[in-house]
Chains A and B, each alone.
Chain A
Amino acid sequence: MLFSGTVQIDAPRARTWAFLIDPDKVSSCGPGVESVEIIDAANFKVRAKVGVGFISAKFVVNMTFAELTAPDKAVIKASGQAPGSAVDAVGSMLLSGPPEGPTTMDWSAEVDISGSLAGVGARLMEGTANKIVGQTFDCIKAKLEG
């Protein structure tokens, strides 16, 4: 599944960049995130509870920055598991706009869900993904613009 979008954030580019590549900060905006464990500069582990329709699953997701080109481009790879289900994703973002803001973020994510969640939740997946993305960006905007 391919998701993409553009978000306008009324904040300077450098501050936006710093926030988005900080695992603790950005994860604090992920709905259902229970913990973030920093392993090294490029790797961290997120534990999150995700609900799709009537199913909820606790995922353990290994995140890796595959590319970090300050101050505008990042690619992150994620692979995670919940009992009977797995997620493999590649997300990328490109920031643009004047240094003082507002900052424009073009983002895309290719997400593959495997296992029971893919079967049982297939028809609910897009709605759920849009909801999670929406909540995440609302939170990011609120924290950066506030």
Chain B
Amino acid sequence: MTIEMEPQTTPEVGGMGHSVKRKEDPRFIQGQGEYIDDVNLPGQLWLDIVRSPYAHAKIRSIDASEALKIPGVAAVITGKDLEGYKLHWMPTLAGDMQMVLPVDTVMYQAQEVAAVIATSRYAAADGVAAVYVDYEPLPVIVDPFEALKPDAIVLRPDKGPDKQTNHIWHWESGDEAKADAALAAADVTISQDIYIPRIHVASIETCGCVADWDPVREQLTLHMTSQAPHAIRTVLALVAGGAGLPIYEHNIRVKTHDIGGGFGGKVPVYPGYVLAVAASFLTGKPVKWIEDRSENLQADSFARDYHIHAEMGATKEGKITGLKVKTIADHGYTDAAADPSKFPAGLFNVITGSYDFDNAFVEVDGVYTNKPPGGVAYRCSFRVTEAVHAIERMVDILAHDIGKDPAQLRMENFIQPEQFPYTTPTGWEYDSGNYGAALTMAMEMIDYEGLRKEQAEKRERGELMGIGISSFTEIVGAGPSHTFDILGIKMFDSCEIRVHPTGKVLARIGVQTQGQGHETTFAQIIAEELGFPVSDIKIEYGDTDTAPYGLGTYASRSTPVAGAATAIAARKIKEKARHLAAHLLEASADDLEWTNGKWSVKGSPDRFKTIQEIAFAAYTNHPQGMEAGLEAVDYYDPPNLTFPFGSYICVVDIDKGTGQVTVRRFVAVDDCGNIINPMIVDGQIHGGLTMGFAPALYEEITYDERGNNLAGTFMDYLLPTAMETPAWETGKTITPSPHHPIGAKGVGESATVGAPPAIANAVVDALWHLGVRNIDIPMTPQKVWKILHEKGVAP
């Protein structure tokens, strides 16, 4: 079920609203994609990394003598070597410091300890096995609540005399006094602890790079898998500058290739990249580093790890009156989140969700532990998933507590369409929404009334069936420069369009594609604005020597920010084309009107010039006094964020004997504003739903008390395959963003954000009558079975 958007262009042009087939797919389906491990340069050396078995230990000594005897091993780099260049520490994107290699203390299991450079991958791995590190194990802190105790050892003594604590920062939003008063006055109050566990994006392509320092030309080319190549270039230039190395930003070229999955895990600057650059600089040869699967799962940045305590107040009829949330955020040994500077807890204060109430207070405390950097991303970087999970769980608990249908309670609390733009009690201005329409569509699609009847009948028979709803509001498109920056760089984004004389178009964008289909959708935006067919438009990205500066692709920001820049750049071209057309038609520019790729004289539709004719004239017959050419660039500073939303309904059946949860049906109604390519949006939703289903039922990174990662392979970190994944049913409503040039809102992360609470709510709904109020995700068979066993239901 979908509310259709009528395309304004022909299928041949393929502007917005057409399901144009993806321009990138022919190379992928023919096995011709080029991923980082496909890049091999002449004379290339290999880098492999010695990693710590301990989660916290002093390094007494490192003995590389045996490694250096292995044929092919060229060098072993340690933290002490880097210290000589002041390269042993580097900044994180959150402005904290992380180690490239430790000089004296390791902080988490699998941390980089030394790098072996060799002439082959095998020799490098043999070298790693032969490096002997003498460690003195230290006490390990894996629990952030333990880390905050006054007698806890201080994990980061480097932070300076006034920061001798494991507490990193405190952040709060909203009005605490008003929230307290609302809770005190409420007829009904509920409170709940909710843990959102540590998870890993586990992209199929791990991280890697080929660093190529050319000592003659003093040029560094860094081939890598990055979602934010310009940011990487700037960080590298700053790190090199701090080290006094002659590697300057104009001589650094970061080049991405096809990316086998990003999901936020390829935003940070990992030590491996810096080590490869340092090794290439030292040897004068290209150096390649490719992570293996276990390194990726044990050492790269993680997501979530939020310990949430929420309290909600309401009238006895179920009208929400207040919300108070206290959260402990486990960031591991360094805060490496890619959050904007002013938002150490991301946009977590969107936690008031889709609901209209006046009083909310949210506070988050970041904490160091002996784990790798946490809180980075999992197809949602800015803590929106955590916020949506908490509010949607709380709303469901409230509904069950007062005996009201969860759908009805949501309908009665939704912000109404006429209230937009709506300012939340934590200060966000939601641009547009129609939450009731989306939930109504989802309920019709799944036959909600019929399911509730079926559930009642099954419960009579002792069968466990649950129905869960999630009516989420997303917050994406960071962001306006007055509020949003990363390491000081404002979160604008960019597009440069060049129209060639024969009417073909090259456009370069500041964002990166890692599966989203930018080569198609950004061409469609230009097709929509200028009338060139999509087939005549080439989109380039990911080469910092040619693409305009941009902050990259994460947090669903490509379409809201760079998509807007693309539309605005196209409109600049359209305006110049108007003056060229006026010259060609010998008419006043004011007398022309634009329709379907042509400027024509008002009232004389036969007198027109097509955009292709105008493009040719821009190089062959432009008027005196006008610059030749037809090009434009735009750096777009969004006036506000965008707020996609949706309503998801999930039906689960639970096996009483095994605790196995089966998702029988899942209906997802999304509203991402105007749609560029319906097929690609559906693909994004399908992928996002699967990446919401995964942490709801399968994925979790756990640690033992010694800080060992217990999910370092795909044997223990369970990814759902096509076998486990339900058949998704999708629907759309369309509520355009009023401030975005093409009314689009972004969709990459909506489903990842919206799906987990729908599934969790369904499972709890199936078990509520047994006295179950909450189950933290992942709701694994053993976790559910244990509850069923305790309740006397399972044997």
User: Which of A's residues lie within 8 Å of B, judged by CB?
Assistant: 58, 60, 81, 83-86, 88, 112-120, 122
Can you give 12 contacting A-B residue pairs, CB < 8 Å?
Answer: A58-B129, A81-B53, A81-B132, A86-B137, A88-B137, A112-B706, A115-B110, A116-B53, A120-B294, A120-B715, A122-B704, A122-B710
Known: A81-B132, A122-B710. 4 other contacts (CB 8 A): A60-B132, A81-B133, A83-B50, A113-B708
Residue of A nearest to B133 (CB): A81
Query: How many whole Å from B129's CB to the nearest CB in chain A?
Result: 4
In contact, A118 and B294 (Cβ under 8 angstroms): no
Residue of A nearest to B707 (CB): A114
In contact, A86 and B53 (Cβ under 8 angstroms): yes
**B contact residues around A118 at 8 Å (CB):** 704, 706, 708, 710
Please report the C-alpha to C-alpha distance between residue A118 and residue B53 in the assembled complex, in whole angstroms. 9
**B contact residues around A58 at 8 Å (CB):** 129
**A contact residues around B109 at 8 Å (CB):** 114-115, 119
**B contact residues around A81 at 8 Å (CB):** 53, 132-133, 135
**A contact residues around B128 at 8 Å (CB):** 83
B681 within 8 A of partner (CB): no
With A60-B132, A81-B132, A83-B128 as known contacts, state yes or no: A115 contacts B54, CB within 8 Å: yes
B716 within 8 A of partner (CB): yes
Residue of B nearest to A118 (CB): B708
B51 within 8 A of partner (CB): yes
B713 within 8 A of partner (CB): yes
Please report the C-alpha to C-alpha distance between residue A85 and residue B55 in the assembled complex, in whole angstroms. 11
Residue of B nearest to A115 (CB): B53
Query: How many whole Å from B209's CB to the nearest CB in chain A?
Result: 22
Please report the C-alpha to C-alpha distance between residue A94 and residue B755 in the assembled complex, in whole angstroms. 58
B696 within 8 A of partner (CB): no
Residue of B nearest to A58 (CB): B129
Please report the C-alpha to C-alpha distance between residue A7 and residue B294 in the assembled complex, in whole angstroms. 40
In contact, A114 and B706 (Cβ under 8 angstroms): yes
**A contact residues around B52 at 8 Å (CB):** 115
**B contact residues around A119 at 8 Å (CB):** 109, 298, 708-713, 716
Query: How many whole Å from A98's CB to the nearest CB in chain B?
Result: 41
Please report the C-alpha to C-alpha distance between residue A140 and residue B241 in the assembled complex, in whole angstroms. 63
**B contact residues around A116 at 8 Å (CB):** 53, 110, 294, 298, 712
* SS of A interface (majority): strand
Please report the C-alpha to C-alpha distance between residue A112 and residue B715 in the assembled complex, in whole angstroms. 22
Please report the C-alpha to C-alpha distance between residue A120 and residue B53 in the assembled complex, in whole angstroms. 12
Query: How many whole Å from B297's CB to the nearest CB in chain A?
Result: 9
Please report the C-alpha to C-alpha distance between residue A115 and residue B707 in the assembled complex, in whole angstroms. 9
In contact, B716 and A114 (Cβ under 8 angstroms): no
Please report the C-alpha to C-alpha distance between residue A120 and residue B46 in the assembled complex, in whole angstroms. 26
In contact, A86 and B54 (Cβ under 8 angstroms): yes
Please report the C-alpha to C-alpha distance between residue A82 and residue B128 in the assembled complex, in whole angstroms. 11
Within B122-176, the residues touching A (CB, 8 Å) are 128-129, 132-133, 135, 137
Query: How many whole Å from A124's CB to the nearest CB in chain B?
Result: 11
**B contact residues around A84 at 8 Å (CB):** 51, 53, 110
Please report the C-alpha to C-alpha distance between residue A96 and residue B53 in the assembled complex, in whole angstroms. 38
**A contact residues around B133 at 8 Å (CB):** 81
* SS of B interface (majority): loop
**B contact residues around A114 at 8 Å (CB):** 53-55, 109, 137, 706, 708
Please report the C-alpha to C-alpha distance between residue A116 and residue B715 in the assembled complex, in whole angstroms. 13
What 0/1 pattern do residues 290 to 311 of B give for CB contact below 8 A with A?
0000100010000000000000
Residue of A nearest to B704 (CB): A118
Within B694-737, the residues touching A (CB, 8 Å) are 704, 706, 708-713, 715-716
**B contact residues around A120 at 8 Å (CB):** 294, 712-713, 715-716
Query: How many whole Å from A50's CB to the nearest CB in chain B?
Result: 14
With A83-B128, A83-B129 as known contacts, state yes or no: A115 contacts B135, CB within 8 Å: no
Please report the C-alpha to C-alpha distance between residue A83 and residue B130 in the assembled complex, in whole angstroms. 8
Query: How many whole Å from A2's CB to the nearest CB in chain B?
Result: 13
Please report the C-alpha to C-alpha distance between residue A112 and residue B53 in the assembled complex, in whole angstroms. 11
Q: Which 6 A-B pairs have the closest CB atoms?
A: A115-B53, A86-B53, A118-B708, A83-B129, A119-B712, A114-B53
**B contact residues around A83 at 8 Å (CB):** 50, 128-129
With A118-B708, A119-B708, A122-B710 as known contacts, state yes or no: A85 contacts B53, CB within 8 Å: yes
Please report the C-alpha to C-alpha distance between residue A116 and residue B709 in the assembled complex, in whole angstroms. 8
Query: How many whole Å from B321's CB to the nearest CB in chain A?
Result: 46
**A contact residues around B53 at 8 Å (CB):** 81, 84-86, 114-117
What 0/1 pattern do residues 97 to 112 of B give for CB contact below 8 A with A?
0000000000001100
Query: How many whole Å from B761's CB to the nearest CB in chain A?
Result: 32
Please report the C-alpha to C-alpha distance between residue A84 and residue B708 in the assembled complex, in whole angstroms. 11
Please report the C-alpha to C-alpha distance between residue A67 and residue B710 in the assembled complex, in whole angstroms. 34
Please report the C-alpha to C-alpha distance between residue A105 and residue B135 in the assembled complex, in whole angstroms. 33
Please report the C-alpha to C-alpha distance between residue A119 and residue B716 in the assembled complex, in whole angstroms. 9
**A contact residues around B51 at 8 Å (CB):** 84, 115
Q: Which of A60, A112, A117 is packed against the most chain B CB atoms within 10 Å? A: A112
Please report the C-alpha to C-alpha distance between residue A113 and residue B52 in the assembled complex, in whole angstroms. 13
Query: How many whole Å from B685's CB to the nearest CB in chain A?
Result: 34
With A114-B54, A114-B55, A115-B54 as known contacts, state yes or no: A86 contacts B135, CB within 8 Å: yes
Please report the C-alpha to C-alpha distance between residue A86 and residue B709 in the assembled complex, in whole angstroms. 14
Please report the C-alpha to C-alpha distance between residue A119 and residue B710 in the assembled complex, in whole angstroms. 4
Residue of B nearest to A88 (CB): B137
**B contact residues around A60 at 8 Å (CB):** 132
Please report the C-alpha to C-alpha distance between residue A132 and residue B55 in the assembled complex, in whole angstroms. 26
Please report the C-alpha to C-alpha distance between residue A118 and residue B715 in the assembled complex, in whole angstroms. 14
Please report the C-alpha to C-alpha distance between residue A118 and residue B713 in the assembled complex, in whole angstroms. 12
Please report the C-alpha to C-alpha distance between residue A83 and residue B33 in the assembled complex, in whole angstroms. 34
Query: How many whole Å from B298's CB to the nearest CB in chain A?
Result: 7
Please report the C-alpha to C-alpha distance between residue A116 and residue B110 in the assembled complex, in whole angstroms. 8
Please report the C-alpha to C-alpha distance between residue A40 and residue B51 in the assembled complex, in whole angstroms. 31
Within B42-92, the residues touching A (CB, 8 Å) are 50-55
Please report the C-alpha to C-alpha distance between residue A118 and residue B52 in the assembled complex, in whole angstroms. 13
Residue of B nearest to A83 (CB): B129
Residue of B nearest to A57 (CB): B129
Please report the C-alpha to C-alpha distance between residue A30 and residue B105 in the assembled complex, in whole angstroms. 33
Query: How many whole Å from B575's CB to the nearest CB in chain A?
Result: 60
**B contact residues around A122 at 8 Å (CB):** 704, 708, 710
Residue of A nearest to B140 (CB): A114
Please report the C-alpha to C-alpha distance between residue A88 and residue B711 in the assembled complex, in whole angstroms. 22
Please report the C-alpha to C-alpha distance between residue A66 and residue B481 in the assembled complex, in whole angstroms. 64
Residue of B nearest to A60 (CB): B132
**A contact residues around B706 at 8 Å (CB):** 112, 114, 118
Residue of B nearest to A117 (CB): B53
Please report the C-alpha to C-alpha distance between residue A119 and residue B53 in the assembled complex, in whole angstroms. 10
**A contact residues around B710 at 8 Å (CB):** 118-119, 122
Please report the C-alpha to C-alpha distance between residue A131 and residue B476 in the assembled complex, in whole angstroms. 55
Please report the C-alpha to C-alpha distance between residue A85 and residue B54 in the assembled complex, in whole angstroms. 8
Please report the C-alpha to C-alpha distance between residue A122 and residue B708 in the assembled complex, in whole angstroms. 10
Q: Which of B708, B711, B713, B715 contacts A115 (CB 8 A)?
A: B708
Query: How many whole Å from B333's CB to the nearest CB in chain A?
Result: 16
Please report the C-alpha to C-alpha distance between residue A117 and residue B51 in the assembled complex, in whole angstroms. 13
Please report the C-alpha to C-alpha distance between residue A37 and residue B562 in the assembled complex, in whole angstroms. 65
Q: Which of B132, B706, B713 is packed against the most chain A CB atoms within 10 Å? A: B706
Please report the C-alpha to C-alpha distance between residue A88 and residue B709 in the assembled complex, in whole angstroms. 17
Please report the C-alpha to C-alpha distance between residue A117 and residue B294 in the assembled complex, in whole angstroms. 11
Please report the C-alpha to C-alpha distance between residue A124 and residue B128 in the assembled complex, in whole angstroms. 25
Please report the C-alpha to C-alpha distance between residue A114 and residue B108 in the assembled complex, in whole angstroms. 11
Query: How many whole Å from A42's CB to the nearest CB in chain B?
Result: 18
Please report the C-alpha to C-alpha distance between residue A114 and residue B106 in the assembled complex, in whole angstroms. 13
Residue of B nearest to A54 (CB): B715
Please report the C-alpha to C-alpha distance between residue A88 and residue B50 in the assembled complex, in whole angstroms. 19
Query: How many whole Å from B94's CB to the nearest CB in chain A?
Result: 27
Please report the C-alpha to C-alpha distance between residue A112 and residue B706 in the assembled complex, in whole angstroms. 8
Query: How many whole Å from B781's CB to the nearest CB in chain A?
Result: 16
Please report the C-alpha to C-alpha distance between residue A84 and residue B113 in the assembled complex, in whole angstroms. 10
Please report the C-alpha to C-alpha distance between residue A120 and residue B710 in the assembled complex, in whole angstroms. 7
